[in-house]
Chain A
Amino acid sequence: MRCEDAEEFVSGLCDGERIPREAAEHIGECEKCRTWLQDYAMLGAELRRTASLDSPKNVSAIQHLLTSTKRAKEKRSFEVWWKKGAEAMRIPRFAFVLMLLLIVGLSSGLVVVRARSNAQGPVLLVTLKLPNSDLSWQCALSMNGQQNGACSGGMDVKKRGFLEFGIQFLARQGDKIALGIRRQFLPLSPNGGSFTFSTADLENLPIEQYELEPGQKLQIDIEGMGKAELTGELLDHMPVLPLAPYATLDPAQDELRMISPLLLRGREAIIDMDHGSATGTGKDGAVWIHAPGVGRLIVSAENFPGAVKGQVSQSRIDFEIGGKQYQLLAGAPITRAQDVWVQFDRNFQSSESPGGAIGWAKLDYLLAKQATPD
């Protein structure tokens, strides 16, 4: 028997297979085949060894998620962001178990559901009204598939603190909609200060499951803040302005608003934040867009070091960097100002938003982060 013919049997031996006598005799006498056998056994063992090392998602990790605790972090400034739709919020494995259990429950008839004729829209517009405040937050969740099924954000609750909030569509049965909600209120310390908010903050929070029926009010207890009121309304489409579906197209005074921006360099699209949006008000703030591997773009109404002037035309900003023409296109008018200041840092790196992110932040906070990429 030739070694080439015996090779498949060498592989079979590694798997505990019985092999023909002729092949067994050849392998017993052939140094080359025996070397193969030893190598295959060693490679298999090494694969299992490295698999054991590379198994961070083991049960103990799940247990860790089960007991994940809230983290309150007070930092130099605050960001408001709205992560790209498809990646907006990730659910820990335990939460996912709960979601699946809900589905099991529903499919096994444990939940009695009433059907209502008007519960047809594929989009749920969620409004969160904060307690003791005139602030509210809106988000449109698609219930059709994976795209835009979640959104999250941070809200600066004036003089009180900062609210981190994330909501995700989990399942729908008739007019009952299961939502996964994470939230955390970070009260302002007596010494003042401000906050930062990133994807990681929210992902480390426990997720709770709520059941919402459109038209009804749901009480969401927010520790340190009180009971917020959550309502839902079914829409037959994704609203044009996902940040505030009933807002006017006209930006407010000193508002910078970026809806689903697309950055072109010449004719090449280099950043596409489809369904990612951010807004903020205040001359000391700026919108930022981070695309891993591409860089970070900062747009501010105020001049700042390293920025170039950009010309605003409704939902478009034109600027030039290094002799190259850039156009930033958005889904709605960006600002009332005619000029803005733009910086594009191609070397910027951050582990906070590995999938890319967009947000609004204080300019001094953004510039401080610029020099120390993590």
Chain B
Amino acid sequence: MADDRELWERICRGDISAFEGFYRENAPRLQAFLGQLLSTPQAAEDVAQETFLQLLKRQNGFRPDTSLRAYLFGIAKRRAAEWWRQQDPTGEATGEGTDRPKAETCSLVGDAFAKLDADQRSLLWLREVEGQSYADLAGILGIPVGTVRSRLAAARRELRQIWHDGQVIKKESR
């Protein structure tokens, strides 16, 4: 955290190399995460850029007791939700919960993952791929640590079930 605080202070002071390093390290990962939540790679790229902008604009939004990456992903999660709301101004239940992104992998696991709802996808992605701690996940998602634990278990159960069903269907179709 001390490193993050120092990095953040350098960015806030306008240290170009500090920001560029942070951007280069995190932009691809952030975009991959958003790619799981949004419907197109272009949307993921756009929201990733907006996320970095917001990070810079709200310089007093970062709490030094959390990690800078968790702060970044938390912004991205909220921006992704906003993006879906803009796609459906009537507020009807399209989008985040029902319009799943197209699976970019042909694997059964990838297909199963794409069928999870957006909250489960983002939670599992942040944990399994990004390696975020429970505490950081709680901060990103705005939920207690205990809820992170139970939701992760539920998401894994759901993923396993969908993956398992997919395997059965594939075997039956042979």
Contact = CB atoms under 8 A, between A and B. Distances in A.
A47 B20 contact: no
A54 B31 CA distance: 11
8 contacts: A8-B150, A48-B129, A100-B53, A103-B57, A104-B11, A104-B14, A104-B16, A105-B14
Interface string B2-25: 000000000111101001100111
Interface stretch (B69-77, B91-99, B153-161): B153-161
The binding surface of chain A is classed by DSSP as helix
B102 to A, nearest CB: 11
Interface string B140-155: 0000000001101100
Interface in A73-116: 87, 90-91, 93, 96-97, 100-101, 103-105, 107-110
B52 A96 contact: yes
Question: Which bucket holds chain B's interface residue count?
Answer: 35 or more
Contacts, number: 108
A43 interface: yes
A269 to B, nearest CB: 16
A1 interface: no
Identify which of B19, B28, B57 gathers the most chain A CB atoms within 10 Å of its CB.
Answer: B28
Interface of B: 11-14, 16, 19-20, 23-25, 27-28, 31-32, 35, 42, 45, 49, 52-53, 56-57, 59, 104-105, 107, 109-110, 113, 124-125, 127-129, 134, 149-150, 152-153, 156-157, 159-160, 163-164
Interface residues of A, number: 43
Given A100-B19, A101-B16, A7 B153 contact: yes
Given A47-B129, A110-B14, A53 B53 contact: no
A47 B134 contact: no
A37 to B, nearest CB: 10
A59 interface: yes
Given A11-B153, A101-B16, 16 more contacts: A11-B152, A15-B152, A17-B134, A46-B107, A46-B109, A47-B129, A50-B110, A51-B32, A51-B129, A54-B105, A87-B42, A100-B23, A107-B14, A108-B13, A108-B14, A355-B42
Contacts of A354: 42
A36 B19 contact: no
Contacts of A107: 14, 56, 59
A284 interface: no
A199 B160 CA distance: 41
A89 to B, nearest CB: 12
Given A10-B153, A40-B160, A104-B19, A47 B113 contact: yes
